[in-house]
Amino acid sequence: EPEVTQTPSHQVTQMGQEVILRCVPISNHLYFYWYRQILGQKVEFLVSFYNNEISEKSEIFDDQFSVERPDGSNFTLKIRSTKLEDSAMYFCASSVEKGNEQFFGPGTRLTVL
Amino acid sequence: KNEVEQSPQNLTAQEGEFITINCSYSVGISALHWLQQHPGGGIVSLFMLSSGKKKHGRLIATINIQEKHSSLHITASHPRDSAVYICAVRSIYGATNKLIFGTGTLLAVQP
């Protein structure tokens, strides 16, 4: 069964460093999403992406964040200068069409020291 | 106030028991999702529904749009059902596609 994959599973970085989290959505899916979950809190929406552009973003998704689909398979989330409060689990998701069921990847645990 | 509320927050059951987890929401929605999150952190989609009832194996999800309420039922519960169950909704407003999540219900099924 096709699934969303994410790499790495765990990333440790120093405050101020740039990180890139990678996702491979399900191959025939057209909509891509990033969500995050700070430890002990609920999952929060960051951004959605369609047709090579951001279709929606939350107030969390400020200028420190960017997303890209650099090739036909990868979907990346970049945090330019990480802060302690960026420590969280980051989930990628994809869906066939807008409004369809979203399928989640296993997550990347980001730890900022 | 949270737009999506779940109850109970924590639930402990004995193997074989019938389990119900509730979700109430305050916004108009186009769809509601039930998701499962295991201790390792990964999220698995269980159901997406916009009306009525869906069944998959021992899991049943129902939704009442007028009352803005959904329930997830687990029949003949098993220790492997132990996980966090999360309700998430997609609002009908603003052509949004984002999901708004509840805080989850931590279920522990004891043998």
How far is Cα B55 from Cα B61, in angstroms, rounded to an integer? 6
Amino acid identity for residue B74 in this structure: I
pLDDT greater than 80 at residue B40: no
Return the ∠ at Cα A75 (arms to B49 and A55), rounded to 5°. 60
**Least CB–CB distance from B97: residue in A43, A55, A105:** A55
Task: Tell me the pLDDT tens digit for each residue of A73-103.
Answer: 899 999 999 999 999 999 999 999 888 889 9
Within 10 angstroms of residue B101's Cβ, the number of other Cβ atoms is 24
Query: In the structure, what pLDDT confidence band is assigned to residue B69 with cuts at 50, 70 and 90?
Result: very high
The residue among B93, B98, B100, B106 with the most chain A CBs within 10 A of its CB, best to mutate, is B98
Contacts of B41 in chain A (CB under 8 A): 37, 89, 106-107, 109
Q: Is A34 helix (H, G, I), strand (E, B) or coil?
A: strand
Q: Looking at the partner chain, which of B42, B48, B100 has a beta carbon nearest the beta carbon of A107?
A: B42
Contact B97 A104 (CB under 8 A): no
Quote the strand ranges of A29-74, DSSP E: 31-37, 44-50, 53-57, 65-68
**CB nearest to A99's CB, from B31, B42, B104:** B31
Q: A6-49: per-residue pLDDT in tens?
A: 999 999 999 999 999 999 999 999 999 999 999 989 999 999 99
Tell me which residues of chain B have a C-beta less than 8 Å from any C-beta of chain A: 30-31, 33, 35, 40-45, 48, 86, 88, 90, 96-104
pLDDT digits (tens, 9 = 90+) for B75-107: 999 999 999 999 999 988 777 788 999 999 999
